[in-house]
Amino acid sequence: MIGRLFGTTQFTGRHMAAVMVLFFGTIIAVNFTMAFLATSTWSGLVVGNSYVESQRFNTVTATRERQAARGWSIDTRYADGRFAVALADREGRAVGADSVTAAIGRPASAQQDRTLTLLPLREGGFGGDTDLAPGLWEADVIVETAGKERWEKRVRLHVEAHR
């Protein structure tokens, strides 16, 4: 049967060499392609210096615990080119703020990152115009209010394709 593939009745050393070159050539080509794609997209870098960040761990944890104790919640939405957030306190009342910003980007790439200053909306909440392509996005929302510690929340949102 193998001989029919190669046009002869005998399977020779040349045939075996060709099989080996094709087999390992395919594996090497796939490995190089995957390595190129892995290094050309996301660096994998979450923090610049893990030792320095580890020294801040207790401070960051205490800050997050104080923010959680406020009982604030956030609702995000994206429609018609506008990213909007609605903030509510523990009782569900709207939270006012002096400034609200959102650093928006893809979870695994920094190529489409942008920072928006969100302005108060007539219908409540805060919003800003931006163009987000379909797919998964991550937003770091920062709320600053006079006399209070700033409040931060990271949220993920999925943008649907336009129909």
* Tokens describing residue 48: 């610049």
20, part of any domain: yes
pLDDT tier at 4, thresholds 50, 70, 90: low
Q: Give the C-alpha separation, 16 to 51, whole Å.
A: 53
Indicate if 35 and 78 belong to the same structural domain.
Answer: no
- In the predicted model, what is the mean pLDDT of residues 113-133? 92
List pLDDT tens digits, range 56-90.
999 989 999 999 999 999 999 998 899 999 999 99
List pLDDT tens digits, range 94-113.
888 899 999 999 988 778 89
58, part of any domain: no
Q: What is the pLDDT of residue 17?
A: 95
pLDDT tier at 147, thresholds 50, 70, 90: confident
Indicate if 20 and 83 belong to the same structural domain.
Answer: no
Residue 153 has pLDDT above 80, yes or no: yes
Indicate if 34 and 76 belong to the same structural domain.
Answer: no
pTM, to two decimals: 0.68
Residue 3 has pLDDT above 60, yes or no: no
100, part of any domain: yes
By percentage, how much of the chain surpasses pLDDT 70? 92
87, part of any domain: yes
Range of the domain at 94: 72-159
3-state helix, strand, coil in the chain (%, to 5): 35, 30, 35
Indicate if 36 and 76 belong to the same structural domain.
Answer: no
- In the predicted model, what is the mean pLDDT of residues 27-31? 97
Indicate if 79 and 31 belong to the same structural domain.
Answer: no
Task: State the amino acid at position 149 in one-letter form.
Answer: E
Residue 45 has pLDDT above 80, yes or no: no
Which residues have C-beta within 8 Å of that of residue 146, sequence separation ≥ 6? Answer: 98
Indicate if 76 and 146 belong to the same structural domain.
Answer: yes
Indicate if 6 and 78 belong to the same structural domain.
Answer: no
79, part of any domain: yes
50, part of any domain: no
66, part of any domain: no
Indicate if 76 and 148 belong to the same structural domain.
Answer: yes
99-105 sheet: strands from edge to edge: 73-79, 82-88, 126-129, 114-120, 99-105, 135-144, 151-159
Q: What is the pLDDT of residue 41?
A: 73
Q: What is the pLDDT of residue 163?
A: 62
CB contact at 8 A, 83 and 104: yes
Indicate if 30 and 85 belong to the same structural domain.
Answer: no
56, part of any domain: no
Q: Which of 33-42, 52-61, 129-138, 141-150 has the lowest mean pLDDT?
A: 33-42
Indicate if 77 and 133 belong to the same structural domain.
Answer: yes
